[in-house]
Amino acid sequence: MIVFFSRNLHEYHYILPVIKKTGGVLVTPSTDIMRLAEENNIKCKLGDISTIRNFKNAIIVVASHYLQLPRNAKKVQLFHGVAEKFYTYTKSNFKDANSILYWINYTIFLLPPPLSKLSIFHDNPYTPIRKLNLERFIKDRYDLLCIPGPYAEKKLKEKQILREDNWAKIGFPRFDDIVNKKINKEKLMEKFNISKDKKTILYAPTWSSRGHLCLSSLPYMGLDILKMAIDRGYNVIFRPHSLILKYNQFPKIIKKIKNMEKEFENIHFADSKIDILQYMLVSDLLITDYSSVGIEYLFFDKPIIYIRHLGDKYKGGQAERLVEKAGETVKDKKELEQKMDEIIAKPNAKKSYRNKLRDLFFYKIDGRASERARDAIISLLNEK
């Protein structure tokens, strides 16, 4: 039996294409994820991570941020899209505990019996943790790394994390259904009630972790972005990170946007239970901040605006600087007003950069990444 675990909605969407190929049971404490799983004909069970210890002789799939794991487990990691996350950078890339913590994103554990007691690590990336040799820790702990693209491969090789036998070129499984035309743009626009006669902007701000710089652009420019779209006659889809809603962040702004949706027919408050890739597909332009959706959107070869409201307070890292070449960066409302119409009018201005970076972050996009992940996992499982 294969048992998956997903605590948050954004984790579920990364797990979904793999569990569809492997089959199994999904364990989750979220009733929203339970309903989504049932809609996809996935067998599920309500419970927290401790629940998976009740499954004997099972393959355990965990999708969360954990460092302390059973030593006797065979472990496989499914990546987020790159080997680095925007909001994990401090003074240097990939050299500190915080970076590694969020680099370990979506991990599959193949646990032989008996199941060891799981020691759960906190999920606050900014809480200090004990010093350890992180490169050796990861290299020794992972039996299979499912690499999404050349960039991740390069970064992991630089840190000597890849062994000869512990990684495979997989790609990005979440793209598969779109590549295989299982998701239709026209039907989605009808489903979301989005006018085909207007350009559509997707505004997707990240969430704000406690005790750190507010990386979310929502309290800085969120309402201004929606008002600009209204004034220009654009459709605008507001799709906040699911953790903004889960943790009830910026409640006054969220309430105002919900009221705007009732007043203006071209304002759409997206359903966080729906994979953001569907909203990307129907949009013409992405506006985001320090979110990994700014990398995933490269797949669609459409223009991007990156809001850098923190300016010099937040230095970012190599991946972040690279991806900015595929779009336009703005620091405030004035710069956004100057560039919004121009970018929509000239969608191919950064096309060459987008295609180059898409190929850098993702291996061949052929609709078979989830099959490669499945095959690699089964191969590891069959090893004696």
268 and 133 in a common domain? no
pLDDT digits (tens, 9 = 90+) for 29-64: 999 999 999 999 999 999 987 777 677 666 666 545
| Rounded CA Rg of the chain | 20
Distance CA 279, CA 293 (A): 11
Nearest 10 degrees: Cα torsion 248, 279, 269, 12: -30
Distance CA 271, CA 32 (A): 11
> Among 64-78, 89-103, 325-339, whose mean pLDDT is lowest?
89-103
- The pair phi, psi for residue 28, each rounded to 5°, is -155, 145
Burial per residue of 126-147, b for 16 or more beta-carbon CB atoms within 10 angstroms, e otherwise: eeebeeeebbeebbebbbbbbb
63 and 202 in a common domain? no
Q: For residue 92, how many other CB atoms are within 10 A of its CB?
A: 11
Distance CA 327, CA 304 (A): 5
Distance CA 19, CA 22 (A): 5
Instruction: Give the confidence band of 371 by pLDDT, cuts at 50, 70, 90.
Output: very high
CATH of the domain at 291: 3.40.50.12580
372 and 350 in a common domain? no
* Own/partner pairs, 244-249, CB within 8 angstroms, 24+ separation: 244/205, 244/207, 244/208, 244/216, 244/218, 245/272, 246/8, 246/9, 247/207, 249/207, 249/208, 249/216, 249/218
CA atoms within 13 Å, Cβ hemisphere of 346: 7
pTM score, whole prediction: 0.86
pLDDT confidence of residue 95: 42
Q: How deeply is 289 buried, as exposed, middle or buried, from its count of CB atoms within 10 A (0-12, 13-18, 19+)?
A: buried
Range of the domain at 255: 181-361
Could you give the 3-state DSSP secondary structure of residue 255? helix
pLDDT confidence of residue 5: 79
Q: How many domains does the chain have?
A: 2
Distance CA 41, CA 35 (A): 10
Instruction: Give the confidence band of 92 by pLDDT, cuts at 50, 70, 90.
Output: very low
268 and 128 in a common domain? no
371 and 315 in a common domain? no
Instruction: Give the confidence band of 72 by pLDDT, cuts at 50, 70, 90.
Output: low
pLDDT at residue 15 above 50? yes
Q: How deeply is 345 buried, as exposed, middle or buried, from its count of CB atoms within 10 A (0-12, 13-18, 19+)?
A: exposed
Asked if residue 87 lies in contact with residue 125, where contact means CB atoms within 8 angstroms, the answer is yes
159 and 251 in a common domain? no
pLDDT digits (tens, 9 = 90+) for 144-193: 888 889 988 888 887 777 888 889 999 999 999 999 999 999 999 999 99
Asked if residue 70 lies in contact with residue 118, where contact means CB atoms within 8 angstroms, the answer is yes
> Among 76-80, 302-306, 328-332, 356-360, whose mean pLDDT is lowest?
76-80
Asked if residue 280 lies in contact with residue 202, where contact means CB atoms within 8 angstroms, the answer is yes
* End-to-end CA separation in angstroms for the chain: 18
Complete edge-to-edge strand list for the sheet that includes strand 74-78: 43-46, 25-28, 2-6, 59-63, 106-110, 74-78, 144-147, 167-169
129 and 204 in a common domain? no
Q: For residue 321, how many other CB atoms are within 10 A of its CB?
A: 10
195 and 78 in a common domain? no
| Maximum Cα–Cα distance across the chain | 64
Which of 63-77, 123-137, 222-236 has the largest mean confidence? Answer: 222-236
What are the residue ranges of helices labelled H in the chain? 9-22, 31-39, 97-103, 134-141, 150-158, 176-179, 185-191, 218-232, 242-246, 251-263, 276-282, 293-296, 318-324, 333-345, 351-361, 369-382
- Write out the H or E segment, with its range, that includes residue 202: strand 200-204
19 and 109 in a common domain? yes
364's CB contacts (< 8 A; 6+ apart) are 171
Q: For residue 278, how many other CB atoms are within 10 A of its CB?
A: 20
347 and 371 in a common domain? no
161 and 30 in a common domain? yes
pLDDT confidence of residue 288: 96
124 and 33 in a common domain? yes
